[in-house]
Every structure is written in structure tokens, then in C-alpha cells.
Structure 1
Amino acid sequence: MFEPRLALASLSGQSDAEWARAADELAGAAFLGGIALDAPTREAARELVERDRDEFLPDDPAGFVDDQLAALEDADLRPGFNVRTTSLEPLRAVAEICADRGAILELNAHCRQDEMCAAGAGETLLRNTDRLREQVAAAAGEGPDVSVKVRAEVPSVDLAETARAVADAGGDAMHVDAMDSEGVVADVAAVAAETDLFVIANNGVRGEATVREYLACGADAVSVGRPSDDPAVLGRVASALDEWVAQKPEVRA
């Protein structure tokens, strides 16, 4: 899906093309966004801004996605865009843009902010597998690689079953925020081995110890969140990945 196996995880209101380009010598992918696509999620994003959270709120979300991806056309990494929506038509429009730009479309089933969950987006999708399947299928139908960003430790949610649902609906990757439950990566990876899902592990990735822990659990790649603008952290992670791949030449493509 991308090489090297280091991704930058989206940080709402901060992860734009300039942020991604600053790390393109070390990262293989960068997930821009997140961005709210439809009226309910845009209203939720406005409410988040009112309580001092960063959000992208362009007048034309699809146009913003296209412009940001165009700005990375010659970057030495693969871009992705993390999106939040409750309806399918704006999702299909942005998925088509991602397909045209060779970018990954990442569905956000991760956000736990009350406003976004009340709108029916974010981690509420983990509790409603039918809606998640519907969004994955709608996005995949437009042709891009589709990732789903998820978090562990959501009550009554089995991420292994979520992974199976994502794969069945045509998804290509699961981006797993382990939330200090690293073993969940192994559960998702076991499903991925049967379904060809690509597994990206996130949470606390800072250097060799965390890289080796997640890859030993079966992850195909790791992602860095908050310190994604710290070259020292990215350098340590990139070096650890290089060492792992050198020792494990059978790592999945």
C-alpha cells in the first residue's frame, strides 16, 4: 500500500499538504484531515471549533480535498484523506477525487468527540456495522483504496469482527489506534491474514520498541500521531522499520 511502512496519522485541523510534505523523506504515507463532508458533521465540527478544537471547515470540502491532494502530486509519499460523514453522496464525490489522485480514502470511525458522535459519525460507526459497511462499499465503489481508522477499547465492539466487516465490504486497510491495548492489533492482524487487509498500528509509536511490538503482533505498518512533525521521532521509527524489514524479508506487500 505504501513504502516505507511509516504513515503520518491525521490530526484534525493540522494535517494538511504542507505538514505532509515536511516529512516526505521519511514517511511512506500521510493521512490528511480529518474533514467533515456533510451538513451534520460540518455542524459538529463548528461546535468543536467553538470549544477551541482545530478543524478544517472550508466552504467546499470536496474542492479542499482535491486542492490538497494536488499540492502533493510530486511528493515522495502516498497521501490519504481522513473523512467524516453521515451521508453517502459527498463520500462518493471525495472517494472519486482520491481515486483520481491515487490517494487513500480513510473513513473516520475513530473520533470520540461528543458532537461528532451525536451527529452519527466517528466511533458510532463501530457500533453500527451495517452503516460502516455501507460507507466502505460506497467509497470503494469509486475506486480508491479504502482504509478505516478505528480505536480500541470501545465498549461492546470487537475490532476483529469489524475488520472482517470492512474486508467484506471492499475495504483495503484498517488503521488501528490501540489505545494501550496492543493485543488488539494481533486480533485484527489475524483477520487481515485471511482477507488481505493491510493493518496500520497507531498509538505511542516513538521508536524501536513500539515498532517491533506492533510488527510482531502482525501489523503491516505503523503510524505516528502527535509527534508527526518531530523529525527525531520519525527518524527513529523509520530506522526501526528498516531494521525489521531487513530481518523479515517476507513482510507482506
Structure 2
Amino acid sequence: MFQPRVALASLSGAADADWARAAAEHVGCAFLGGIALDGATREAARRLVERDRSEFLPADPVAFVDRQLSALADSPLRPAFNVRSSSLPPIRRVGEVCAAHDAVLELNAHCRQDEMCAAGAGEALLRDTDRLAAQVRAAAATGTPVSVKVRAEVGGVDLPAVCRAVESAGGDAVHVDAMDSESVVERVVAATDLFVVANNGVRDRETAREYLGYGADAVSVGRPSDDPEVLADVRAATDEWFAAEVGP
């Protein structure tokens, strides 16, 4: 899906094209966003801003995605966009934009903010796999590669089962925020043939190698994504890991 096997994980209100370009020498992919696409999720995002969270709230979110991806047209990394929606038409529209830019569309089943969950997006989708699968099918129908961002340690949720539903619906990748349960990555890898990106606490060679040891296909860096020393260390660890797998 991308090389090198290091990605930047989306940071609400901060992960834009300039952020991605600054790290392009170290990573193979950058997940921009997240961005709220429809009325319900945009209202949730406005309420989050009112309590001092950073959010992207452009007048036209689909046009914003197009502009941001266009700004990375000459970048060596593969762009991706993390989106939140409670309805399918905006997912189809942004999927077409991503397909035109050879970008990955990432559906957000990860955000745990009460406002976004009440809108039927983010973590709420982990508990409603039928709706999540419908979003995956809508995105996949546009021809763009589809990733789903998920999180571990959500009560009552069988994460490997969710990932199997994503795969059955036509998803290509799953981006796993392992929280404090790093070994969940191993169970997800065993349950599906999805491309698995492992996230949470990746900040050096040791943490990268732990996730790769659980079978992850790639790792992503979140809050230290603007630290070139962290990115260089993680890149070196992944390069060494996969070079050893291939052998001389």
C-alpha cells in the first residue's frame, strides 16, 4: 500500500498538506484530517471547537480534501484522508476525489468524543458494524483504497470481528490504535488479510519493532509526527525489519 512502511496518523485540526510535506522524507503515507463531511458530524465538530478542540471546518469539506490532496501532487508520499460521516453520499463524493488523486480514504471509526459518537460517527461505528460496512462499501465503490481507523479497549466490541466485517465489505486496510493493548494487533492480523497499520506510542525503534513483531504491515506515528528524529528512528526500524524478512 505504501513504502516505506511508516505513516503519519491524523491529528485533529493539524494534519494538513504542509504537515505531511514536512515529514515526506521519512514516511510512505500521511493520513490527513480528520474532517467532518456531513451536517451531523460538522455540527459535532463545531461543538468540539466550542470546548477548545482543534477541528478543520471549511465551508466545503469535499473541496478542502481536493485542495489538500492537490497540494501533495508532487510529494513522494502517498496521501490519505481521514473522514467522519453519519451518511453515505458525502463518503461517495470524497471517495471520488481520493480516487482521482490516488489517495487512500480512511473512514473514522475511532473518534471517542461524545459529540461525534452521538452523531453516529467515530467510535459509534464499532458498535454498529452494519453501518460501518455500508460506509466501507460506499467508499470502495468509488475505486479508492479504503482504510478504517479503529481503536482497541472499547467495551463490548470484538475488534477482530469488526475488522473481518471491514474486509468483507471491500476494505483494504485497518489502522489500529492499540491503546494500551498492543497485542491486539496480533489478533487483528490473524483474523484478516487486511493491510494492518499499528498505531499508539510509536516513537522509536523499540516501539516500532514491537508492533512489527505482532505482524503489523506498517506503523504510524501520531503526536511526535513533527519530530524528525523520531521519524528517522522509526523509518530505520521498519526498513531493517522488512529487509531482514526479504533476506539477501
Distance 2:15 2:72 in 1: 13
Deviates more, 1:237-246 or 1:223-232: 237-246
Find out whether 1:229 has 2:226 as its counterpart.
yes
Q: In 1, distance between residues paired with 2:243 and 2:111?
A: 35
Query: Which aligned segments of 4 or more residues in structure 1 are displaced greater than 2 angstroms?
Result: none
TM-score scaled by length of structure 2: 0.99
* Separation (CA, whole Å) in 2 of partners of 1:124 and 1:71: 32
Asked if residue 45 in structure 1 is aligned to residue 45 in structure 2, the reply is: yes
Partner of 2:195: 198
**1:245 Cα deviation after fit:** 1.3
Alignment of 1:184-223 (within 5 A): 184-192=184-192, 196-223=193-220
Matches within 5 A, 1:83-162: 83-162=83-162
What's the secondary structure of 1:99's corresponding residue?
helix
Distance of 1:174 and 1:186 partners within structure 2: 13
Range 208-217 or range 73-82, more displaced: 208-217
The whole-number CA distance in structure 2 between the counterparts of 1:70 and 1:29 is 15
**Shift in Å at residue 28 of structure 1?**
0.2
Report SS of the residue matched to 1:116.
Answer: helix
* Counterpart for residue 5 of structure 1: 5
TM-superposed deviation, 1:183: 1.1
Structure 2 Cα separation of the partners of residues 246 and 72 of structure 1: 28
* Per-residue deviation, 1:191: 1.7
How far apart, in 2, do the equivalents of 1:242 and 1:60 lie?
A: 39
Supply the distance in 2 between the matched residues of 1:8 and 1:27 (Cα, whole angstroms): 7
2:242 matched to 1:245?
A: yes
Identity score, percent: 70
- Runs of 5+ unmatched residues, structure 2: none
Q: Secondary structure at the match of 2:35?
A: strand
- Hey, what's the Cα distance between the residues in 2 that align with 1:139 and 1:79? 16
- For 1:212 and 1:230, the matched residues in 2 are separated by 19
The normalised TM-score by structure 1 is 0.97
Give RMSD over aligned pairs.
0.7
Structure 1 unaligned blocks of 5 or more = none
Corresponding pairs, count = 247
Q: Counterpart amino acid of 2:122?
A: G
For 1:159 and 1:239, the matched residues in 2 are separated by 30
Shift of 1:86: 0.3
AA of the residue aligned to 2:167? A
Cα distance, 1:172 vs. partner? Answer: 0.2
What secondary structure, in the 3-state scheme, does the structure 2 residue paired with 1:53 have?
coil
| C-alpha separation in 1, matches of 2:246 and 2:59 | 46
> Residues of 1 paired with 2:149 and 2:200: CA distance?
12
Amino acid in the other structure paired with 2:47: E
SS at 2:246 equivalent? coil
